[in-house]
Amino acid sequence: MKALKFLVVFMGVLIIIGIITLSISLINKINNKKFYSYDLEKDNSIILNAPNYTTLKSLYSLNNTVAIEFEGINESVILLLDPKTGKTLQKIIIKH
């Protein structure tokens, strides 16, 4: 009978400690702004400099890449970009 009383008290203490731990972690997550809001200061824009003496002719989306075609007097340039990073994957130059 003493063992049962000890077990009931011990389990009650464990439940109280668990509730306190969950409450503290929930309060910390609510107070953390990154948990529930979008970071508006994050800038997702990509700056792309066009090749000299060219104009933008077309823009294509190809699977996981973006193809941008520039047309110039003597040549056309096609840039293949990774949309997630903005890095140039390949540059294709077509001479006229």
pTM above 0.75, yes or no: no
When pLDDT is cut at 50, 70 and 90, the band that residue 41 belongs to is low
| pLDDT(80) > 70 | yes
> What average pLDDT score do residues 3-19 get?
95
Domain boundaries, the chain: 2-36, 54-95
Quick one: pLDDT at residue 63? 84
The DSSP line for 7-19 is HHHHHHHHHHHHH
Quick one: pLDDT at residue 48? 76
Q: What is the pLDDT of residues 49-77, one digit of tens each?
A: 787 788 889 998 988 899 999 998 888 99
The DSSP 8-state label assigned to residue 49 in this structure reads: P
Those residues with Cβ within 8 angstroms of residue 51's Cβ, 6 or more apart along the chain or in another chain: 70, 72, 77
Which two three-digit tokens encode residue 31? 């107070």
